[in-house]
Amino acid sequence: MVQVALVVVTIILGYFIGTIPTGYLVAKARGVNIQQAGSGNIGATNVLRTLGTLPAVIVVLADPLKGALATMIPTLVGVGTWGIALVGLATVLGNNFNVLLGLRGGKGIATSIGVFLVIDPLITAMCLALGVFTILISRTVSLGSLVGLASLPLFVLAKGNFAVPNLVLAVALTSLALVRHRDNIRRLLNGTERRLGERPRVKHKTE
């Protein structure tokens, strides 16, 4: 019973750590409502395109950090691999479907990286390297993000002797990424996806 209670508490805590809206707060400090700028997404890519490099770097560092922090908590209290996987998933759900922002949020790539970094640093590093390589050759962040995260369950399988909860989490995170990037996927197929260096118009708050 105590173990179940710990899992429930850490899942709830993970979700609310995930809801920390880094991109929204960074943009707010610059006088921009990021949900009304560019794509309206609060993730690092939209922050980069609307506010520039430094604000985007802050988001790129902070979003994985909150994913890692949330996942370290169940790891430290010893709730088991299923508990850790559920907390990791809850954290990404908090980022993607933020109750503080009307169930709007980011696309979960950076937060997913932070979550899996705690679970398996080597696999996470390989996914990150593949994603960055794809971005560099295509100049398309969404494509690199999708390629990197879609490789996560494949790397888990290829490693062998994996924990089933880790594979389930990897598949769930990949599925969430595909759902959140469905518009990007449509634009990629149509050849209209925006590349790095193309900047949308920023809508500043007037109040």
Give pLDDT tens digits for 29-73. 988 898 888 778 888 888 888 888 898 899 989 999 999 999 999
35 in a structural domain:
yes
User: 52 CB contacts (<8 Å, ≥6 apart)?
Assistant: none
In this prediction, residues 20-36 reach a mean pLDDT of: 89
Mean of pLDDT over the chain: 89
CA distance 134 to 140: 8
Is the pLDDT at 201 greater than 50? The verdict is no
CA distance 21 to 43: 9
132 in a structural domain:
yes
37 in a structural domain:
yes
Whole-number pLDDT of residue 169:
97
State how many domains the chain has. Answer: 1
Strand partners, 104: 98
CA distance 164 to 7: 18
84 in a structural domain:
yes
Whole-number pLDDT of residue 40:
81
195 in a structural domain:
no
One-letter identity of residue 148? G
Beta-carbon neighbour count of residue 182 at 10 Å?
A: 9
pTM (2 decimals)?
0.87
CA distance 73 to 199: 38
In this prediction, residues 111-137 reach a mean pLDDT of: 95
203 in a structural domain:
no
User: 48 CB contacts (<8 Å, ≥6 apart)?
Assistant: 55, 56
205 in a structural domain:
no
In this prediction, residues 179-195 reach a mean pLDDT of: 91
Name which residue leads in pLDDT, 40 or 141. 141
197 in a structural domain:
no
The boundaries of the domain holding residue 93 are 2-190
CA distance 62 to 6: 26
Structure tokens at 174: 């990949």
For 204, the 3-state DSSP assignment is strand
- Beta carbons of 26 and 58 less than 8 angstroms apart: yes
